[in-house]
C-alpha cells in the first residue's frame, strides 16, 4: 500500500480525524472505524497504514482500552500528537439553549465537560463517538437534546452551536499515538513508551524504577493498569525521555530486564512539542 491511510475511531468530523489532518496534512486519507479494536484490525488487514489512537486526556485521564490494545497487539508507536480540544454544544436549528435537557457524546467528552453539565442540570447520555452523536442527531432530531462535538462536526452535519468552548478547563487537550507496523525513524528529541510487570517480592517496583534513576533518565509518565484475567495484578505503563538505542537508555533497559517479570517495548518516537511533561 503506497498511499497513507490512517484509521480512527468514530465518524468523519471526530477529534481523532482532526488530529490526523493536523499531524499528517489535510490531504491525508482517513478510514472511520466503529471501535478502537477495529483500528488495529484495519492495519492488520492492510486497509490502513496507520492508526490515530487517543491514549490520554489532560482532564479525563488515560483511555484504558487504548493501552490494553497496545499491550495485546505487536504494533509500534511511531509518533505522538497533542490536540487542543475545544468542545461545542451543538443542536438542530430551532433549538434554544433553554430547551436543552439532555446532552449526548462520547464518555470522554462528557467527562471533560462534567462540571458544565452538572451546573446546568443537563442529563449526560453516552454515545459511541462525538461526531457520531452529531451525525445521528442531524439525521434523527430529538426534542430537548444537544450533543458535544467539534466545530468541524457541527458544520459537517448542519448543526448550530448553542455554546462554544464548554470544556471544564481551557487547557483541555488529548494525547494521541500514531501506530503502525514499523519502528519510527530515530530523531534527536525522542520519547519511549513501554510496559513492564514486577515480581511479587519486596522492593520490586523500587528496583525497576531505579534502573532509570541510576542512568539519569527522566520519566514523563508511569501508571498502573489491571491485568485482564489476573485480579489484583498490574502492568506498569512508562514513558521516558530519549530513544531506546541511546547508550544510557540501553543500559537502563538491560537492568530493567533483569529486575522485571516482563518488558514490552511500545516504541521510540519523536516527542510532541508542548506535550505532557511531568518530572520524577
Determine the pLDDT at residue 279. 39
Cell of 244: 531506546
* Run of H or E including 119: helix 114-120
Determine the pLDDT at residue 274. 57
**What is the pLDDT tens value at each position of the chain, 280 positions in all?**
559 999 999 999 999 999 999 999 999 999 999 999 999 999 999 999 999 999 998 888 899 899 999 999 999 999 999 999 999 999 999 999 999 999 999 998 999 999 999 999 999 999 989 999 999 999 999 999 999 999 999 999 999 999 999 999 989 999 999 999 999 999 989 999 999 999 999 999 999 999 999 999 999 999 999 988 888 889 999 999 999 999 999 999 999 999 999 999 999 999 997 555 443 3
Percent of the chain with pLDDT over 90: 87
Measured between alpha carbons, how far is 31 from 8 in angstroms, rounded to an integer? Answer: 6
Q: What is the pLDDT of residues 82-95, one digit of tens each?
A: 999 999 999 999 99
User: Which residue ranges form the domains of the chain, and what is each CATH number?
Assistant: 5-83+172-180 (3.40.190.10), 88-164 (3.40.190.10), 190-270 (3.30.70.260)
Would you please indicate which residues are annotated as catalytic (active-site) residues? 174, 176
Measured between alpha carbons, how far is 80 from 278 in angstroms, rounded to an integer? Answer: 16
- CA distances for 101 relative to 97, 125, 244, angstroms: 9, 11, 51
Closest CA to 51 of 67, 59, 66, 40: 40
pTM: 0.87
Strands (E), 133-217: 145-149, 160-164, 173-180, 190-198
166 Cβ contact list (under 8 Å, min separation 6): 87, 88, 89, 113, 116, 148
Percent of the chain with pLDDT over 70: 97
CA 106 to chain centroid, in Å, comes to: 13
Amino acid at each position: 500500500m503506497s498511499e497513507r491511510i490512517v484509521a480512527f475511531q468514530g465518524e468523519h468530523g471526530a477529534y481523532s480525524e482532526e488530529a490526523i489532518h493536523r499531524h499528517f496534512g489535510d490531504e491525508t486519507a482517513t478510514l472511520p472505524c466503529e471501535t478502537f479494536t477495529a483500528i488495529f484490525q484495519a492495519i492488520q488487514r492492510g486497509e490502513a497504514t496507520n492508526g490515530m489512537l487517543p491514549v490520554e486526556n489532560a482532564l479525563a485521564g488515560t483511555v484504558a482500552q487504548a493501552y490494553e490494545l497496545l499491550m495485546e497487539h505487536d504494533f509500534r508507536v511511531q509518533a505522538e500528537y497533542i490536540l487542543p480540544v475545544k468542545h461545542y454544544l451543538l443542536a438542530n436549528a430551532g433549538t434554544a439553549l433553554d430547551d436543552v435537557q439532555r446532552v449526548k457524546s462520547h464518555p470522554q467528552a462528557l467527562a471533560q465537560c462534567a462540571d458544565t453539565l452538572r451546573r446546568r442540570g443537563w442529563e449526560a447520555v453516552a454515545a459511541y463517538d462525538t461526531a457520531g452523536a452529531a451525525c445521528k442527531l442531524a439525521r434523527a432530531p430529538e426534542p430537548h437534546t444537544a450533543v458535544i462535538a467539534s466545530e468541524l462536526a457541527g458544520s459537517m452535519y448542519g448543526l448550530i452551536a448553542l455554546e462554544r468552548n464548554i470544556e471544564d478547563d481551557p487547557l483541555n487537550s488529548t494525547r494521541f499515538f500514531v501506530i503502525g507496523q514499523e519502528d519510527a525513524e530515530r530523531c534527536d528529541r525522542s520519547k519511549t513508551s513501554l510496559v513492564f510487570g514486577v515480581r511479587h517480592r519486596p522492593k520490586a517496583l523500587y528496583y525497576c524504577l531505579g534502573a532509570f534513576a541510576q542512568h539519569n533518565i527522566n520519566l514523563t509518565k508511569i501508571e498502573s493498569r489491571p491485568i485482564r484475567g489476573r485480579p489484583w495484578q498490574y502492568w506498569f505503563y512508562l514513558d521516558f525521555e530519549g530513544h531506546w538505542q541511546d547508550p544510557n537508555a540501553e543500559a537502563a533497559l538491560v537492568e530493567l530486564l533483569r529486575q522485571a517479570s516482563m518488558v514490552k517495548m511500545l516504541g521510540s518516537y519523536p516527542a510532541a512539542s508542548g506535550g505532557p511533561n511531568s518530572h520524577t
